[in-house]
Structures are given as C-alpha cells and as structure tokens.
Structure 1
Amino acid sequence: MFRKEFKVKSNCQLKTSDKKKLYATILNAFTQLTDADLQIVMPIKESINQAKITTAQDDTINVYICRGLPLILYINDKIIPTIYFLWNYPNLLYGFEVTNFVVDKLMQGADLMVPGIIKNEGDNPYGQVKLNEIVCIRRQNNKAAVAVGFSLMSSADMTRTCGRGRGVEIVHIYGDYLYKMATEKLQIPIISVENVEIDPVVDVVEEAIADIQIENNSENLEQSEPNLSPDEIVMNLFLLTLKKSNKINLPILTNLFYKNYMLSNLPTNMEFDIKKTKYKKLSTFLNEMEKDNLIKLQNINNVQSIIEINTDSEQIIGFRNQIKENAEEPTCTAHEGTERVEISETYVVNSNVLILFTKFGHKKNDCLSAQEVRKLTCEYVKAENLQDPTNKGLVVLDPILSRVTQAKTAKLDWKTLIDKILSLMGNCYEVRKNDSIISSGKGRIPNIEIATRIRSGNKKVTIVDNLEIYGVDLQEISRECQHGLATSTTLNRVPSRKGMQFQVQGCHAGYIKKLLTEKYCIPIKYFSD
C-alpha cells in the first residue's frame, strides 16, 4: 500500500479531547493494552499529529504521528499499528514467522503466500488466526515485526488447503514510504523469542542500538582517550547527559535516552559498546543509577522509562567531563543524488594589514585563507627574529606589528597576535557545488537562520532563511520535509532577505538542522544559534 509515494493532504495537531478519543479507539481495538501502556509510546503531553494522506491507489488514510514516528493507521474504520508501534509491544498481534528470502520478496511488493510461512509445531501449525484479522510478519527467531497486514485466510483454512494460496495481504512493511515518513528511521531491533516475556523489550532494543559501531580510526582513539575504561566512559556519558537534562522531555523511553542523548555526547573519533562494561545491559546500568538516587525509573508492561532526574544530586552538580570534545567537524558523506557543497571563507588584504603582507608580494584586495595568514605571520616573525628567547610562546612586537595590531604591550602571544590580524582583515566567501560557483560575496557568509514563529490561530511554523546561498535546492528540501514530516511547506519572497524564505508548518527546527548537516553536509558552524 505504501510502496509508492503518497500525497499528504493535511497535517494537523490533535487537541487534548481528540487525543483522548484516539486513545479510547486504540484501547478498544487492542484490549490487552492499558492506558499506561499507551502513555509510554504516545504520552498525552506530547504533540500528536493526524496526517491525512492519499496513496497511489487513491485510498485516503489517517496516520497518527508522535515524536516524529508514524504509529497508528486508520484504514476503513480499522486501527492498524505500524511496525514502529509493534516494536514496543511485540505480542500485540499474532505474528507469522518467515525466512529472510521471503522478507525480500515481500519488500518487492508480493503478498505473503501460505507456503512461505514457517509452521509451528503441534496441532495449530498456523496459529489461531481469523479471516481478515490484523497480523504481523517477522523474521525467524526475532519477535520484531517487519510487516503488517490482513489475513486472507483463517488458520483453519490454511491447514485445510494444505498450505497453499495467499495468506496475508501486506499493508505496511519495513522500508516503504510510510516507514520513511519517520523523522528518524530506526533499524529493526532484535527481540528474543525466548525472553520477550521476561526481559523488558527496551533492553533488547537497547542492545541492538549498542551493537551499532561508531566508525573510528584506532590511532585517533588511542590519542584521544587512552586511559578511560568502558565503565568510566558510560558513567561519563550518563552524567554529562544528566547535566544537560533541561533539553530532555520526561518521561522518556530508556532506549531513546541512550541513543538520542547519551551516544550524542560521544566524540566521533571514539567507539563505545555497553556490552564491554561490567553492566552488560543498559537496563542493568540504569537500575544501578536509580539506586544511587540519580534517576527514577518506571516499568510498565516490561517497557522501561525514565520519569525523573535528580538534578540536585552532588554527583551531577560536581561532574566534570573527562572525555574531550572532538575538535574536528564530523565527516559527512553527501547522500546519493546530492552534490557536496564546498564553502571557502577567505580574508582580504586591506589598508589595516597591507604594510605586513606587502613584504610577501601581496597587494590590496588579495584574498588569503586563515592558514596562509598564519603561515605568513610566522615567516615574518622568524625572518625578523621577533620570537621571545625566554618564552617561545610570545612574540616581540616590532614597529610594523605594533602598527598593525595597535597593541599597548611590547609582546603578544601567538594566538592573540594572529587573531588580532585576522580580525582587522576584510572577509569574503565562495560556495561551490560540483566545481561551479553557487554564490560569493564580501563580508562573512550569512548563517542559515532557523526560527519558530507563531502565526494566526496560534499555529506554529518553522522559518528558514539563506538556504539558497548554500546551494540548497528549495524544491528538493520541500519534498523531503513534506514526506519526512507529513506536513506542508511554502516558499515566500521577503523584501529584507536575499532569495526565498523556506517555511514549514509546525515546530521542526531540529529535523531541518539535522537534514541540512547530514544530507547536505553543511557544517554546524554555519547555523545561527
């Protein structure tokens, strides 16, 4: 149903009364769920959007979205959970097990044929499914759903036909456009068949997340933090996250806390695996932290959440980060079909510094990179023997350097000297894409400005300025946001701005910033705070 792109007709935020009606409908459809269960995945305090979409087959469907994830579908008066919802409650629907080969066929658009189902042992090889019952499909030995659909036969009919015919009509599957609608596309977790009733589901999800290796150069790792043990690293990441806890909305699922907050504090030149700690599992570690009165946990139906952070703890207040921040920008590989943007900022030789750079054959209005300015300044100091013999970190100012810097002292340290020279020079920039100049100008390159504004009717919109300067195709990013956020976008001409202003309905600053840094590879320093 969602193998082809769909159109988003509308996307609006539900009122509290509408949320309660939605909760009642879901709980009525799935009696094994409690209101407390639902609050974990779709908290009443969180924004829940209803997106009305039209599929390629002209079917109109309501999609309910919370925390950027499409969780519930409303099709022909039936409530259907998405795979994102089912990963939190793997026993909610009956699941047919299949092989990886069959999953690949389903992803190509096929329905599930009965011969492709792995039969159970005993008297009910196909379970006890009714005709037109909502079921899920999962890989062998993994309770995590990969697809959702309607049974085209009852279990009795499957047995009666000797395992022939179409078994399940696929509605939604991992990798389709509904899956891609999420702001953060999660990978299929590993949920153990044997332990699903005992261990919290989130433990298994966390272990899957913990298996993700952060790509790293081992030589850089040794240079970065050679003395920290895995236990010290996890404690450092945890306390650093708690110290920044004002950015966290509670309650929060522990797997999201780990992935979105703890791991985000890990430098890119460093790797970490929680299985290498003495705790082995995130849930074990968090239980220890609860005993230390740092956090308060809540377990409802084997789903673990953090509901409180003790910000008054002396351990948090007195914490000092032992992991050095990575000084380099994270490497970025442009997505397929997206050309990488190259931004060069240079400094212009002007009358303030001309007397210094004429020594090297440069004239007014010549452009130099910051590295060239440093190199030429160092060459000048060495050529004139201006380095302080008693302290190599200081430079003795001769008449030329004194005139340029206008310093009131006889000596300056290297950093202050070079920073002073750079601050006195003019600026210019050039943006290239595929060896073609996209934009250029004098002065500093304007930052990308992302802001949230309130329009009439208390509606919030996210406004983005200066995208065209960085070579961003506004039509392309509009389509990206429409599908990724299930919302509307517009382009406006603003007299006080150069180029078009990009506007997205709703509060989506974080999503847009992530999209621009990850897909378009625009460094974070070019964004206004």
Structure 2
Amino acid sequence: MFKKKPTIKPLAPLRSSDRRKLADQIIKDYNLEDTNSPEAEQTPEQKTEAVNAHTSLRNSLLPDNTQSARFTTTQGPDLKQASGTVYVGSHDGEEARILWFQIEGRMYPSVYTLWRNPDIVALLHTPDVAVDRLRAGADLMTPGLAGGPPFPERAKKGTVVAVASTDKPSVPVAVGWCEVDVSALEQVRGAKGHAVRNMHWAGDEVWNYGATGRAGQAAPEEIDGWKRVLEARGLAEKVDALDLDEDEVDGGVALTDADEQSGPASKQTNGYNTSVEGEDAPANDIAPTKELTQTEIDTAFRNAFLYGIHKHKETNSNAPNYGLVFPLSQSFVVSNLIQPFLPAYTPAEAQQLQIKKTSWKNIKKFIKALDKQQILKSKEKDGHETVILDIDFDDAAIMNFKPYRLPKKETLGGASQGRGEKATEQIDTGDDSVGQKLQVISYYRPTSKLAPLFTTATKPLLTPPEVRELVTAYIESENLLAETNKRLVKLDPTLSNAVFDGSTNLDKEVLAKGTVPRDALIDRVLHAMNPSYAIVRNGADPASVKARSGAPPKIHITLENRTGNKRVTKVSGLEAYFVSPKLLADELRKTCAGSTSVEALAGAAKKTEKPVEEVMIQGPQKDAVVAALERRGVDRRWVEVLDKTKKKK
C-alpha cells in the first residue's frame, strides 16, 4: 500500500490521555493482557505490579514521546484516495519511526513495533523469493504459504498478521490482513487466490519515514522472542527443513501492484484467543509454554533481584551506593531491579513470572524474605509498604552472582517481559554522561583599572590562585605590608583608585584607615574583575576548552503544584553539563515509576543558539533528580533548588 510515498502532514504531539486511551484500545483489540484475575481479589502489591506491567506494555506499544499526523495516499485499481493517521515514536533514544498506522478504522503495527513486541499477531511464513515480491508491493498468495498446515489459529479471515521469510523465520518483514481463513487451510499446494493482503513491508515508505531523512533501520538477523514462539509451536524445525520447488514459489504472490488493490472488506477480530460469534473461542495457536513450578518462579525472582544489584554495581562503580538512592520503594524494586531481569521472552512466559505466583505472593513479603537472609535491611513504612534501607553489596549471594542470558531489547513486549543484554546496557551505559567527571574552572579577566596590578601576567584569563599570587607579588614589590601585622596591606594610590573608589561606606572606612586585610583585598579584586568559566569533562586539557563569559551556570530544579494536589518536578540547564535531557528523562521515568516529558524552555535561548530543554517529572522527585545528576558528575553546588509547593507565610 505504501510503495508510493504518501503525503504526511506535520507531526503533532499526542496528548498523554489520548496516548493512554489508544494504547489501551490496542491492548484490548490484540488481547495482549491477562484479565483472568478479578481485580477485587488482588492485594495492593499485586495491583501495583499489574499497573506497572500495564504501563510498561503501553510504553512499549506507544512510547510517551509518540506524535501523530494525518496522511493521504491512493489505493485500489482506480487509485481511490484514502486517508489515515500515522503514529511516530522512539524507544530509549533511538531514531523516531512510524510505529503504527491507522486506516479505515483499523490499527496496523509497523515492522518496528513487531520487532519489539513478539507474538502480538500471528506470524506466517513464505520462501525468501516470495518475500522479494512482497517488498515490491505484491500480495501473498495461498500457494506461497510455508510452515503448514496447520497454520496459526489466530490467522482468521480479516485479522492482521505478519509475514516472515523461511530464511529468517523469526523476523517479520511484512504486515497485512488475511483474505481467507488461513488457520482452516488443510493444504496449500495447488490452491489459488490471495491469502494475505499486503499493507506494509520493510522497505516501503512507512519503513523509510524518519525526521532525520536517514533510510529505515535494517531488519535484525534474528529475534529471540519470535524464535521462542516458533519453538513453542514446533515450527522452527519445519521451516528449517522446508524445501519448495521453484514452481510452487512462483505461485506464491500476486504480481499486481499493492496500490491497485482494494482495502479489507471485513472487520478485524484479532488477539491471542479470537472468538467467533455463536462459537466457543478457539484454542491459542501457540502450544502451551512449559508450566513452571513455584520453586522455579521463586528462583527466577530472586535471581532477577540479584541481577539488578549486580548490574548497578557493574555500571555505577564510582557512584555512592552504586547509583541507588535509599530508601528504595516497592514500586522501584519491581520496576527497576526485578522486572527488567526476569528471563521472560513472550507474553505467555511473562504471565507465569509474576510476583503473585511466587510463594511470597507480594513484593512486601519478598523484601522481608531477603531481609531474613541478611542480603538487605528493610523497614515497614506507613503500615502498608516495606522499603529497603540498605543493601549488603558484599553479601556472598551478590558477589558470587553469575549473569545469565536475557531477551534482547528488540524482542520485548515491554519491561515486564524482561530486558535483554543489549537493552540493559543501553539503559545503563547508553548515556555517555553517566560516570563522567566534571570540573568547573573559574577564570577572571583584569579590567583596565586593575591593569597595573597584573603587569606581569602572561595570559588574559587568570584562575583565583593565579590572581592571589599576582596581587601578593604586587604588594611585596611595593612594600605594602604593614610592619606590625603582616595580614594588613597599606593602600597606595593604585589600590585606592582601582579597588576602593569611595562609592560605598565600606570603601570610605577603608580609605580612612589606610589599610585593609590581605584576604579582603584579594576578594575585592576578584569581584572587580570580569568573570568567565569553563566546564572540563573527563580530565580534558583546560586550555582546549573555550571559556565562556559570566558566572558558571546552575542546573535548576523546580517543584511546582499543578491542578488539584498534583506536583511536578522540572529540571533545566542540563546542556551546559553535557547531560542529555531526553536520556535523563528516560532514566527518571523508570526510576520514579512515573511519566516524564521533555520540552523546549521558552525564552531560555537566543534564536541563534540551540534550544534549552526542560525535563518534567511527575511528583516531587528532587532527591531522585539530584542522585541521577550525581551519577553524571554534577556536584550539588552546581544545582539550585526552588520549591514552589510550600505555602507562603
């Protein structure tokens, strides 16, 4: 459908409420969440876990930076004009791409979304030579289906499906909808007609769209999550052993252009269990994942926690407490130290690896169990939450922990299903400001009045020690030290005119006495000079860093009240300290288990300068922000906090 470039209007930010509503609709339509447990029977900890998992799934499908735009294109033999909406977003600092597109009231995932979220649709297969024709816009014909029968139960007529090559069976490269009930096909050899109407493929204009103008991202060689799905179905071996004749391949696709084909006639009904009106819902097309014992689930959660601590020690070795800010809340422990390290590749596995299915049943008892093992110290707070006060980083369980293989980032359907080694590394080390060493150097330039004091200076910009040395040399050369007290300096005409001009009462008092303490004199000289500064990163040569005029800037943290009792924390001025606002926002969103946003700060930069961006975090998160800045080498002296939430007296 998108072989020809569509006309896409300018992108507009998607409101948070609209994004959540749309993500929830996708989750419902594609049946991506377990809704078997009655909400009334859940404990507060289980509800918290479920909310965190649901939020992670939302963000995986539609990240909070999602933007939308209307588009127009043509379809059908008469090139009838069609219109719809594209949704553009990015994950973890990646380039923004089209993640979903909506046309004729139906949401279709792009290949980028399929690569990150395994098993959200049924996956069909076809030989590689047929994939080449799909990339030219052709439809998939029934004889081109491989790896069956049987075919996935979800591949019903009208449902959205993905298509992969038999050469790379775990990598979806096309998206379309079934024109026939593929799941009911008993044979494909000799069959005729269209099987899948091709809507989008890796290589079309949707795949290629990007704000930077760079071409689309190449497909990965393998996706572990989809591979596990195929193994569960027993399809991997069948695909590997597949050997089709050329005659069968030739009949695999329609050779008409996708833009000359009409849209779907039936409404989509997709998901893990697709119900047909008047009939019982058919069984899931995926063979049941091996049921884990409670001991195995307990072990997975304990190891995930140890992995989370191990990763913090490994990536934040120079930070206090390895980057952890105590006390640690239950939601933080679940979202940042357990869920990202659970060995779950598919939604089916994620459904088993839940805290409510452990012997502890909730995170509070899990933390208390670790406390009994003396791995950590905990305390009950407010009668309903248990927080971690300290962790014994030298405990044998942590010291002897051996990392295990995790799902790769691009195979995930959300943090609740685990995070792969590549993704973990990106979260912890993809931000090159983490662990950096910063030094703020102040410089002073003598004014014309002060020039007689610095006749021996060899450079225009002087550090405070150099100013003290030169002023002291001038005092000694002019014999201005008082005979009775070497800490006092006698004023000569140069000092009187250049430093103390008599404009204030203090100046008049000093001039009347004729002497001034040497330290006070040097401070007064520094204040009379023109200040400059340079921020040196990672031990670079200060001479190689261009100094900027003025006093060193501050990073501003502002706490504000919003409508009702809601509070937010705003952070600005990060760029001067080599901190990426977007990457900081991504980290704080996980650390604080709340929403974040990044917007240009109006009026903070000139038209010729790069815009200054402001990070906004939900809730009063000053301590978390300061801790994140300290991990990036920012000293507390360079941070200014303004609390607007306190009532005025």
Query: Shorter-chain TM-score category?
Result: 0.3 to 0.5
Bigger Cα Rg: 2
TM-score by length of 2: 0.38
TM-score by length of 1: 0.45
Q: Which has the higher strand share?
A: 1
Higher relative contact order (CA 8 A, sep 6+): 2
